[in-house]
Amino acid sequence: MTARLDSRSRLRLLAGGLLGAIVLALSIVAIFWTPLDPNRLDVLHRLNAPDIRNLFGTDEFGRDVLSRAMTGGTTSLTVAILTVAAAIAVGSTIGFLTGFFRGWTDRLVMILNDTLLAFPGILLALGLSAVMGPRKYGTVLALSVAYTPKVMRVVRGTVMSLREREYIEASRALGNGPVYTLVRHIVPNAVAPIAVLATAMFGWAILMESALSFLGLGVPPPAATWGNMLATARPYLTSAPWLSVIPGMLIAATLLSVNLLGDSLRDWLDPRM
């Protein structure tokens, strides 16, 4: 069902890929190397405007904003990747099983699922992070719990429409067991909608993690994230505006890249949309 991309889609793919590659490269490099130590305090160079030594300036403790933005990227991307992986793994496993086998477990799980979906995702994450306190992996857990119900619903819906298809009936008629049919015929056909969902969720996870960190309920300091860098920038809006501009630009660049890539992926997988 894949299609060749038209020129607009290709442009989107190129722009999204390029932006994503820049952010990803900065974040990966930051694991091994940053221009300066992101946590080193330097009182003599507090709130320095961008110059040759500190390309993005320094913050209220004299820390290098570029280095912090790079490690912040590592943290944000790690949290988002773990969140999406956990939500997809748990949500699609439950979705495949309940959608395929139905029965009373399906009904029970659906009630629980619909209840969780009745909460705005960020509110659930906010409540859960209140329960767990600010921790890096607490954020991952809160966000994945908030997103698992969405995955489950999409996967279950897909499975339920797939299992009525004729080729599934054919597989059964051939005497294949239900597990074989599920794994061999249903799972591969559900990959496309899951991939589209995962891309969108990756963007949401980046945004939610930044929002939670901005509120002081996400990844705790001194670890840098784009969200908590913006939170501390507020009082220095007049004296050091670069503190407010740079982390937000990185969040926006990441989200734009994810949205552009997501649109291209959807065009490629399902040209009718």
Partner 1 sequence: MIGFVIKRILGAIPTVLLVSITVFLLIRSIPGDPAEIMLGEAADPASIAAFRAELGLDKPLPVQFVLWAKHVLHGDLGQSIFLNQPVASLVWQRLLLSASIILIAVGIATVIAVAAGLFAAWQQDKLGDIAVVTVATFGLSLPSFWIGLLLLLVFGIKFGWLPVVGYVSFSDDPSRAWQYLVLPVATLVIVEVGVLTRMARASAVEVLRLEYITHARAKGLSEFAVLFRHALPNAFAPTLTMVGLVIGTLLGGIAVVETVFTLPGLGRLIVEAIYARDYPVVQGCLLVIAIAYVLVNLVVDLLYPIFDPRIALE
Report yes or no: 128 and 149 within 8 Å, Cβ to Cβ. no
Long-range contact pairs involving 47-50 (C-beta distance under 8 Å, separation at least 24):
47/236, 47/239, 47/240, 47/243, 49/240, 49/242, 50/242
CB of 227 to partner 1, least distance (A): 8
Q: Is 131 in the site for partner 1 (CB under 8 A)?
A: yes
CB of 122 to partner 1, least distance (A): 4
Structure tokens at 73: 């990227």
Which of these segments, 56-64, 75-83, 129-137, 151-159, binds partner 1 (CB under 8 A)? 129-137
Q: Is 81 in the site for partner 1 (CB under 8 A)?
A: no
CB of 152 to partner 1, least distance (A): 16
Q: Is 60 in the site for partner 1 (CB under 8 A)?
A: no
CB of 172 to partner 1, least distance (A): 31
Q: Is 141 in the site for partner 1 (CB under 8 A)?
A: no
Q: Is 269 in the site for partner 1 (CB under 8 A)?
A: no
CA distance 211 to 228: 9
Structure tokens at 262: 């997501």
Rounded to the nearest 10 degrees, the angle between the axes of helix 7-32 and helix 65-101 is 120
Largest CA distance in the chain: 78
Residue position matching structure tokens 């395929």: 100
Nearer to partner 1, 99 or 203 (CB): 203
Report yes or no: 156 and 95 within 8 Å, Cβ to Cβ. yes
Contacts of 118 (CB under 8 A, 6+ apart): none
DSSP assigned state of 34:
-
CB of 85 to partner 1, least distance (A): 22
Q: Is 248 in the site for partner 1 (CB under 8 A)?
A: yes
Binding-site size for partner 1 (CB under 8 A) equals 47
Report yes or no: 66 and 33 within 8 Å, Cβ to Cβ. no
Q: Angle at CA 28, nearest 5°, toward 255 and 268?
A: 45
Which of these segments, 27-35, 45-53, 89-97, 126-134, binds partner 1 (CB under 8 A)? 126-134
CA distance 6 to 26: 30
Nearer to partner 1, 109 or 251 (CB): 251
Q: Is 79 in the site for partner 1 (CB under 8 A)?
A: no
- Binding track, positions 160-199, relative to partner 1; x by CB under 8 A: ----------------------------------------
Residues that bind partner 1 (CB under 8 A): 8, 111, 114-116, 118-124, 126-131, 203, 207, 210-211, 214-217, 227, 230-231, 233-234, 237-238, 241, 244-245, 247-249, 251-252, 255-256, 258-260, 263
